[in-house]
Structure 1
Amino acid sequence: MKLVVQVKLLPTPEQEAALEATLRACNAAASDVAATARGVGCYRNYDLRRHAYHGIKDDHRLGAQAAQHVIKKVADSYRTLAANLTAGNCGKPGSKRRRKIETNPITFRWDAAQPYDARMLSWRHDARIVSIWTVDGRLKTVAFTGSADQLKALATHPIGESDLLHRDGMWFLHATVEMDEPQVYEPDGFLGVDMGIANIAYDSDDTRYAGTALNGYRRRQQRLRQRLQQKATKSAKRLLARRRRKETRHAGNINHSIAKSIVTEAARTGRGVAVEKLTGIRDRVRLRKPQRVTLHSWSFHQLAACLVYKARRAGVPLVEVDPRYTSQTCARCGHRDKRNRPDQETFNCRSCGVVAHADHNAALNIAARGVVGWGAVNRPHAA
């Protein structure tokens, strides 16, 4: 399996100037290629090279490998744009926003990430330096640092393509490493996980990962941003810039911790993990205006992604199940009724009379569906 490892570069002022010139040249070339692609109606990587390769190589002082990566970056961007248009993420057909996106070429910020391969970037793990190509020549002694786990992963696994990026005045390399994926074991049942807003996660073992603290944190951050934006002084803008992405990092850390706890418990007990397939939930759910901020700040996709990759690294089976009616169906008798759930927390079956926490009941249903889903895929002919 592939894992992305982030390391921080520690360039000297001269090296930093060369790296900045390189990103500016590569992204200016990418914007030119994107305009060419839109003009000639050609978006495939190898076909686009005939129209753009020699021009950007000479005009922007790019090497052969850098020019090819620029063209591939543009082709990938248009492929992503086409997928977003097909999914309806860019507005309705015929809308002003969609027409603008469909007709204007893609543009790239000067500090957008630039891919590097093994010909353009080499690592010396013992000295913790990299040799990296720039438009001003090769920099052979750029220092880097990272956590102990990140450095160990880089030193002990094959390194694939890396991305150079500039963020908040710092330089980073995102390196892709190839890791051995353990064999998935045959699970003895499943640990169901119900994801929500009031409770970030609630598993079928009756373990609650409450969202009260995180939701309160988000509300405080939102009020602070509003006050600073209304103040609009230089010091307020500096504080806004300094706090940028702080909420995102905090929520991401919580999601990683929750996912690690769930996967560790499943591995300890020899079970798999069953989660809801929540694709498109923001399009299906209709909420009042005060609730929309809460829904759209809910990072369930990130939590699901953390569960997926942590389960793969641990060899824990993971299945996605249909989430429909899991909160309305009794996990004991199977009776389904909308009135079974009178409020957010309470589940009261109108058939057998069982009373439980609504999220725990849903997690039990998800666990049961995980067993059925795993058997349908892995034991389709079992009696």
Structure 2
Amino acid sequence: MDEIATSTLLMILGLLLFLSAYFSGSETGMMSVNRYRLRHLSQQDHAGAKRVQYLLDRPDRLIGLILIGNNLVNIAASAIATVLCIRWFGDAGIVVATFALTLVVLIFAEVTPKTIAALHPERVAFPSSLILKPLLTLMYPIVAAVNFITNGFMRLLGINPNTTLGHDALSSEELRTVVNEAQSMIPSSHQDMLLSILDLEKVTVEDVMIPRAEISGIDVQDDIKLIIKQLSQAQYTRLLLYRSEIDDAIGFLHARDIMQIVTKTSGDADKAELIRAAREIYYIPEGTPLNVQLLKFQHNKERIGLVVDEYGDIQGLVTLEDILEEIVGDFTTNIAPTPSESVSPQEDGSLIVEGTANIRELNKEMNWELPTSGPKTVSGLIVELLGDIPQHPLCLRIDGYALEVLECSESMVKQIRFIPNESRHLEQQNLFS
């Protein structure tokens, strides 16, 4: 070492520091690259992405290779720096070399290259893979030996080195974060739909069903002329046919079948023909998540079903369109959002809300946060809280919302006045303006 010129040692030291910076930057760049974008580029036959994907398939070998190279050049740089400083400063050169090399390595071989690699991982990882891939092949025996020793030590500590963390699998909440963070890349309408799809598993059929009391149906016990009139004035393409009460349901009548019967009989259809034309009822257990029910509709080739409780009593009606509206929003030609028909704004800023209003729909349309874990309607929420049908007028507060019960019947709350606070009042003014 004493025979080597100082200038030569300086050039070797500079080369070693450059290699140290390369290994440090490569490690950060490889570990910071977006795995999903990397997989996409690999499928598009991007050469650099394929090389990086190959190296990251076994991260223990990649890290082992980089750390072997990084430690090797750092130790060599330390030895050369010590020799140079002893030549320049004598016995004090050891101390000088320690502090000086630490500062140089920290700034130029650690912080700077790693920061650059973290900011631009692909620009660092793809070119680095040109060197690291053949270097891994060349040094494979050493890397394998190091990995064998480290894996054995990890097993002694009770850690299984072969345990994977699911690689890049994301939970629904993590996917939600990814969608929210991709605002500039995904149109807001598409973003809302993606988030709605993720929410389907949290919503059950009771949240979107038409309540039992609002189901449009035909009672076969009625006079045939009244039935024909109801059929001709029906607003829906499918009507429930039942005897006396909803629980004694017969089946669904499709508008197409009704038209065929009326045409065939010249308007003189009888009840027997209507009953024969009724299609079999598809039943849905209450509590079924919407994502599950959507798949069941698809698998069974159904578009409509009756929600029943554990005793078989009918609770409501759900259609495929109800579930799709949870994803894409209401099917309407009006682009601007409109408040629910069950909400009537008042001049004093308060809102008159029908007791049958669905809580989830109110929360979405009015930006409210009424509790949705219990009853599905505002009336049910108030009755559950009070434990009885209230006497009106009555004022109460639910989760910070001031309410005034305006009208009740023997079985439900019919009208409620919501008195918003200042911040909610401004939001509602914007909504109804």
For the aligned pair, the TM-score class normalised by the smaller chain equals under 0.3
Whose strand fraction is larger, Structure 1's or Structure 2's? 1
Task: Name which one, 1 or 2, has greater alpha-carbon Rg.
Answer: 2
Tell which has more relative contact order, 1 or 2 (C-alpha 8 A, sep 6+): 1
Whose helix fraction is larger, Structure 1's or Structure 2's? 2
